[in-house]
Amino acid sequence: MRHDASIDPRGYPGFAIRPPGDRDEYYVIVYVEPMTGFEFSLGIDLGANPAAATDPRSLTALQHAAVIPER
């Protein structure tokens, strides 16, 4: 993500997963449309939410929403 110049030629050198920490799975926001004004959301790990971690319905929704883009 830090070097991904597909949208911004500078990439996103400050990209970091938030909150930090080791988890079994990550559900990180890596793309937002429109990007302008929503850059703050890049890197947020939706799976780190304690409510999502204890609610199987939330985890199932995240797993079904997870999309790995083809390169």
* Percentage, residues of the chain above pLDDT 70: 69
Query: Is the model more confident about 67 or about 2?
Result: 2
How far lies 41's CA from each of 6, 30, 54, 55, 71, in Å?
Answer: 18, 8, 23, 22, 22
Q: How many domains does the chain have?
A: 1
| Helix (H/G/I), strand (E/B), else coil: 60 | helix
Token representation of residue 16: 């970091």
Query: Is the model more confident about 9 or about 49?
Result: 9
Whether 67 shows a pLDDT value over 80: the answer reads no
- Residue 22 structural domain: 1-71
* pTM of the predicted model as reported, rounded to 2 decimal places: 0.68
Cross-strand partners of 28 = 45
Closest to 15 measured CA to CA, from 30, 32, 5, 26 = 30
* Percentage, residues of the chain above pLDDT 90: 18
Express each pLDDT in 7-23 by its tens digit. 889 988 999 999 999 98
